[in-house]
Structure 1
Amino acid sequence: MKLLQIFDPKRGYCAGRLEGDKVYPVYYEEKRLRTVLDLVEYATALDMELSEVVDELTAAGPSLGEVNVAPDRAKSHLAIPIHPPEVWACGVTYKKSAEFRDEDTQTSKGIYDYVYFAERPELFFKATASRCTGPNDFIGLRSDATFTAVEPELAVVVDSRKNVLGYMVANDVSAWDIERENPLYLPQSKVFRGCCALGPVLVTADEIKDPYALTIRCEIKRANRILFSGETTLGMMKRKIEKLIDFLFLANTIPTGTVLLTGTGIIQTEEAALQENDVVEITVPEIGKLVNIAKRVS
């Protein structure tokens, strides 16, 4: 089952179910269930499967083509699939990432390789809903950074009981030159407006039996020319998703609807450092293509 959100100028953000090219609204006005987060919290509270709740509340609606357009608050458009209360991220879950970061850092050589082989993963707070964007929306370029990079990842949506509710495509946008200067600058490298893109839909866990079989592809386009492309598979991750979730919940209260980013195995070249108006396309065939445009944020 593929879930999404539509922004409607009259009703605000509304949950929907995607079947083929058709979008079916999902809501329960009497209980004020309108967004995907509303549905996720409702299903968790009643100990129901998310897909069961959606099946009961599905109505008729528009085609995907009608709403898969650039955000415009005067028109209905495809929006971020869920407004997560929290977004957390994992780093150095791929060997390629560890090697690149150790070669790239100006201080503390070997710390990333150490984390790659350690029992404890790198885990950090990434964003709140206000710092996240959805399909066809912008991704942020910090005004004090010169090398902003994409980090294409699989996003996992969890409830407060550690259950995996579904998956999305994610872009953990990062100012690599800031982290490169000193690892203690990681929060500034990672957390800013437009630092996390999620979409284009949320695919429920029952539809993706083996997430490690998924392939992630990324293209960066400038003036309609492909500037960079890369590909990886989730099967190359060193750590299991369940193990990452276990560490996330250690001594930590995690609200339902939280998103966990699982790390990247695609390393962008510095020659392809993001510039304003670059178009980033990240594709996981079983989920869809997440498209965003780079914009400077101050």
Structure 2
Amino acid sequence: MRGILRYADADGRVRVGLGDDDGEAVVRPLPDVRDMADLLRRPLAEIRELAAAASGERLAARLADVAVLPPVDGGTEVWAGGVTYERSREARGEESDSADLYDRVYDADRPELFFKSVAWRVVTDGEPTGVRADSALDVPEPELALFVNAHAEIVGYGVCDDVSSRSIEGENALYLPQAKVYAGGCALGAFVRPVWELDDPRAGAVRMSVLRGGEEAFTGEVALAGLRRRPEDLVSSLFDCYPFPDGAVLATGTGIVPDMDFTLQEDDVVDIEITGVGSLRNTVVRGQRALDWLVAARSEPALRGPRAPLPE
């Protein structure tokens, strides 16, 4: 898979480059780009020129020699859309005693949009995702993510796991922020697939499996054609009343929701793949303490990477 990548080189310097993980398996830095927020401040045409310049750059690092980082930083925010697939509407109704709320938003002109994460709390491929210690029913939510610049242009696509507490949201719809926003609750695939390299992301599919003890505990697939709202319309709604000077990432909602008898457990491995976009793999940890390293990693990216849960 080829895409834009944020990484730390052998000297610990954080860079943004154009990576290829199945051909030459190298990454080439984008010229004069300080970080992802800097990149997302620029118009799409300029970003495309920078990527073309990086493709011809001889200076390259092997992917095996760099530390891959989440593809967000600075003031870039992650937002998400909800109830954008028929299955999502059904699932929200199953868990809630206010099912009519979800029926109405599914058909409404105004989409459900909510804040998901600041950049520094996002985890990426190989790092742990978390479930809340006070939640009884938790699920991964695999979603197509839109990387949007400050000018409201979609510049790339990614893979998002919008981890959620069904029990907390189901208890009261007003608890949505607590069900959605917490340490380890947002994962993004490391590679951002440039928009000019993918004609129509909705022509593909989202696939997810959850492995437990080496066995498949859940598997699901949904066609992106089932996404009720156009990605451009979701972006328009998000940018209608919010300034995003460092750009934004917008997850477009999930069409894969397990039945009510499934919940994530510690040490589950969640695998997500989106046709033509990329993949994401994370192991589940429980409780905030296992994600405490995120605070120090704000200033020390070398602290990032796969890690085991801390003892209770």
Common fold, TM-score beyond 0.5?
yes
Amino acid of the structure 1 residue aligned with 2:28? P
Give the alignment's TM-score, normalised by structure 2. 0.85
**Which structure 1 residue ranges, 4+ long, deviate > 4 Å from structure 2?**
none
Supply the AA of the counterpart residue of 1:236. G
Deviations 1:150-184 (A, max 9, x none): 00000001112211010001100111110010000
What CA deviation, in whole Å up to 9, does each residue of 1:250-290 have, x standing for no partner? 22212343100100000123443111111111001312220
Aligned-residue sequence identity (percent) comes to 37
Which stretch of the first structure deviates more once superposed, 95-104 or 212-221? Answer: 95-104
- SS of 1:48's equivalent in the other structure is helix
Give the count of matched residue pairs.
282
Question: Is residue 86 of structure 1 aligned with residue 77 of structure 2?
Answer: yes
Structure 1 unmatched ranges of 5 or more: 68-75
The structure-2 alpha-carbon separation of the partners of 1:80 and 1:21, relative to structure 1 and needing over 3 Å to count, comes to farther
Distance (whole Å) between structure 1 residues aligned to residue 164 and residue 191 of structure 2: 22
| Aligned counterpart in structure 2 of residue 237 of structure 1, from 227, 237, 250 | 227
Counterpart position of 1:72: none
CA distance in 2, matches of 1:294, 1:283: 17
The CA distance in 2 between the partners of 1:21 and 1:104, in whole Å, is 47
Structure 1 Cα separation of the partners of residues 105 and 45 of structure 2: 37
Give the one of 26, 30, 48 matched to 2:29.
26
Residues 231-240 or 82-91, more deviating:
82-91
Q: Distance in 1 between matches of 2:126 and 2:87?
A: 29
Match of 1:70 in 2: none
Map Cα deviations across residues 30-68 of structure 1 (whole Å, 9 max, x no partner). x5x343333333x33xx733121122244433444x25x
Select the residue among 147, 153, 165 that pairs with 2:155: 165
SS of structure 2 residue aligned to 1:114: helix
| Structure 2 residue corresponding to 1:53, chosen from 50, 66, 70 | 50
- Which TM-score applies when normalising by structure 1? 0.88
- Residue 212 of structure 2, aligned match among 222, 226, 240: 222
Name the amino acid aligned to 2:48.
S
Q: Secondary structure, in 3 states, of the residue corresponding to 1:178?
A: helix
Q: Does 1:137 align with 2:134?
A: no
- Aligned match for 2:173, one of 161, 179, 183: 183
Contact 2:27 2:61 in 1 (8 A): yes
Say if 1:279 and 1:253 are closer, same or farther in 2 by CA, change over 3 A. Answer: same
Deviations 1:110-151 (A, max 9, x none): 110111111111111111012211111111111111211100
The root-mean-square deviation of aligned C-alpha atoms, in Å, is 1.8
CA distance 1:23–1:82, shift in 2 (3 Å): farther
Deviation at 1:14, TM superposition (A): 1.9
